[in-house]
Every structure is written in C-alpha cells, then in structure tokens.
Structure 1
Amino acid sequence: MSEEANEAVRLLWGPPARPSRGPKPALSLGRIAAAGVAIADAEGLGAVSMQKVAGLLDFTKMSLYRYVPGKAELVALMVEAAVGEPPPAVDGLGWREQLTACSDQLARMLAEHPWLLDATVGPRVMGPKELGWLERVVAALDGHGLTGPERMDTAVLLAGHVRGIAEQARAARPDGSPEAKLLAVLGPLVHQHADRFPALAAAMATQDGRDQALDFGLERILDGLEALITRRAG
C-alpha cells in the first residue's frame, strides 16, 4: 500500500489523531471536510485546494497541513462526508425494495454533489460510510441463491447505472433533463429525415420530455436479477 493510501486509511479509519506538534487543535477533520465539500458543491472539484479550504476556515495553509497531508487525503475526507450513511435496513423489506432505496438515495446524493462523480473514480481507499453502501446491497441479497461475486457484481451494476444517468444529467445542466436536451437537439433532425429513421421518428414522437431513464433502467436490472433468483430457487 502506498504512503498516500496509508494516510487515507489513517484519516478515514483510525481514531482522530491530534496534530503531532504545535498548540491545542483548533480544527477537526469534520470541519475541514465540510469546508472542502462546500467549495466543491459551489465551484466543482477542480476548485478545491488546501489554500482555499484554509481560507474558508480562516486558517493558514500550513496550519491545515497539521491535520491533512495533502489534497488527495482531503478529497478522501470530503467523499466520506458527502456520501453519508446508506439507507437503514428495515425488517420485512424485500431485497428489491432495499436495492431500489439504495439506488434512489445514491442518485439524490450525486445530484446534490455532482463532483463525487470525479472524486470516486479508480482504485482508492473507501471510508466506513462509503463501504457501508456496498455492505447494504450485498447484505440485501444474502440468502437468495447468489454467490458472493454475483452480489458484488450487482452492487457494481447498480452503481454504474446510477452514475451513468448522473453523468448525463450533469452534462445537460443547466438546460434541463438529459432527455429534454436530447429531444431538442435531435428531434428536428430526426423529424426532417423520418423516411431514413422511421423507428426513431416514431419513438421520439411519443416522448414527453420526462426523464425516466433512471427508473426504467433500474427496474429492468432488478427484473433480470429477480429472474435469476427465481431460476436458482427452482
């Protein structure tokens, strides 16, 4: 494990550490992460810097380094603060309802913090809250005839679908939903060349501009999973 990863583990999983030198701590990792989240929410992840976070907290950049070694660790703390806890487990709630709740809350989280799409790419250290999301999905599918890898793959599949829709929504801002923007751009072209693209023209003629891609895709993923579970049970 790299030194950077070790530092992320220490900050995310270890007990809160006091600065190794200097006066009594005046900051906390929670305040630092919240300041970074506020900047990223307002201006995007690229705007976040140790200098800017320190300024927002009325501290010097050097004083911030007493708590967080660098920007990579800062972003790891921001991600953990922004993702929050997954939906709580509810007795009697079926696996399908549980996965829907997790997916819906993930979609809301990404809409509230679009910069998370950039901050959660590639191999990295996850904090306990973020890992709790994976735990919730895997646990919801326990006892339904799926292997461990299949349950893990389900979590990845659901997250990938939600992230894909969130990426489209971010690209469409501030002009409306992805579907509405697509219709505005392609609609006139398809209509003009309906003889060449008759299926597209007919399908787009019935579009009402509502963004249904998230729910439609989620339902189809869960339908396929339900078919697999039923087949295994039979």
Structure 2
Amino acid sequence: MENDTVRLLWGPPAKPTRGPKPALSLERIAAAGVEIADAEGLGAVSMQKVAGLLDYTKMSLYRYVPGKAELVALMVESAVGEPPEAGTPLDWREQLTAWAGYLTESFTRHPWLLDATVGPRVLGPRELTWLERVVAALDGHGLTGPERMDAAVLLAGHVRSIAEQSRATGPGGSPEAELLTILGTLVHRNAERYPALAAAITEEGGRDNALDFGLDRILDGLAALIARRTGTA
C-alpha cells in the first residue's frame, strides 16, 4: 500500500507492537533484497527468500515490511546511492554530466533498478535528491520550473535507454558493437540499397560513444535555450 511505502521510506517506521524485541532493521532487510537481486535479478526476490537469507521466518519479516512492493521500494532506496554533490565549483553543464555518469554507474552496479524504477510510484529521500540535483543545477538560468523538471526526465531517459541496451548485451558488451556485428554483413551485401548506412559503418572514429554523444546533444540543446532566455546567445 502507498501509505505503508511512504512510512517505510520517509519514517519514522512503526515499531512492531507484538512479539519479541525487534532484532532486524529495514536497512538489513533491504540489503538482503539487494544481494539477491544483484545475483539473480529482481524476479528472484521474495519475502521468503529474503527471510531465509537473514535466517528469519517469513512471518517475522512481515512485522517490518508489509509485502514485496514495499520491500522493492526499500531496495531501490538502498541501491540507488547518492548523486554527486551540488553547486560550485562546477557549472550547470558539468553538474549534469557528473549526474548522468553517477546514474549510469548505479544502473551498471544494479541492473535490476531498471525494472524496479518504472511507472508512477513513491520515491524515497535518496531518489528525490537525484531529481533535486538536476532542478537545482538549472535554477537561475532562465528555464521555467516545468522545463527544469522535463530536463531531468530527459536526462534520466537517455541514461536508462543506454543502460537497457548495455544490459541486453551482457557484462562488458557494447550495444553499438553488437549492432554493427548484426547489421554489418547485411548492409555491405546490400550497399547499393543502403549507401548511407554502408558509408557510416565503414567510417572510423566516434564509435561506442552513444551515452556521451546523446548527453552532449541534450546539454547543447539546453545551453542554446538558456542562451536565448538569458540574452547571451
């Protein structure tokens, strides 16, 4: 339930009213869930499995966490980590570049976060801080509040897209290299039909850089908008 999730993420958590003195903590429970998800994926996480890893019964776990949805919310808050620090000496562009890099690292360490952070849901303090960093970095640069929020969504969407592709290729894989492997032979065999693709695949330089290329283009667009709004274009 949403109210339970808000209570668990934002606290203070309700203390069990019955049974022995609490021996578990939400932090330990979340860490156990993260351990399972990191090793086996989000689908492998269950109240029973987390309880077993902690050497407790499933029913004892329910004294702390109402169900799996709330458990996953706690896991996300534990695993997402902290965004880079805000403010000087970095300008807004440097701050957002660092932000995107940190978020990429979070998705790389915990690929299941891509599945656990989809759709409307209650955000915890750490997750909300990620949003705060982008909005704050763009404050005072001529953008409206909704535009600063949209910028955060756009940046997160780009990082998520590349992270999804990287996950599909497996550890150490390159989405662009995989695509070229699949398409290269077909394109070259049909170069007369696809001359632009054939030329692009053959050309050297700038490969395996989709994350940075897309990020730079997003930031270039924001810079152009900021310049127009502030009269510095």
Q: TM-score, normalised by structure 1?
A: 0.96
Give 1:227's aligned residue. 224
- Does 1:47 pair with 2:44? yes
Displacement of 1:221 in angstroms is 0.2
- Does 1:81 pair with 2:78? yes
Displacement of 1:16 in angstroms is 3.3
Give the share of equivalent positions with the same residue, in percent: 77
For 1:105 and 1:42, the matched residues in 2 are separated by: 21
Displacement of 1:77 in angstroms is 0.1
For 2:106 and 2:48, the matched residues in 1 are separated by: 26
Give 1:32's aligned residue. 29
Q: What number of residue pairs does the alignment pair up?
A: 231
- Does 1:9 pair with 2:9? no
Give 2:101's aligned residue. 104
Gaps of 5+ in 1: none
Superposed counterparts of 1:139-158, under 5 Å: 139-158=136-155
Residue-by-residue CA offset, 1:152-183 (whole Å, 9 max, x unaligned): 00000000000000111111115721111111
Determine which of 115, 118, 121 is the counterpart of 1:121: 118
Check the 8 A contact 2:34/2:79 in 1, yes or no. Answer: yes
Gaps of 5+ in 2: none
Displacement of 1:98 in angstroms is 0.4
For 1:218 and 1:122, the matched residues in 2 are separated by: 23
Q: Which runs of 4+ in 1 moved over 6 A?
A: none
Check the 8 A contact 2:87/2:137 in 1, yes or no. Answer: no
- Does 1:160 pair with 2:157? yes
For 2:151 and 2:120, the matched residues in 1 are separated by: 18
Superposed counterparts of 1:50-65, under 5 Å: 50-65=47-62
Residue-by-residue CA offset, 1:176-223 (whole Å, 9 max, x unaligned): 211111111111111111111010001011256942000000000000
Give 1:130's aligned residue. 127
For 2:21 and 2:28, the matched residues in 1 are separated by: 16
For 2:21 and 2:7, the matched residues in 1 are separated by: 20
Q: TM-score, normalised by structure 2?
A: 0.96
Displacement of 1:85 in angstroms is 1.4
Give 1:66's aligned residue. 63
Residue-by-residue CA offset, 1:11-45 (whole Å, 9 max, x unaligned): 00011332121111110000000000011011100
* AA matched with 1:180: A
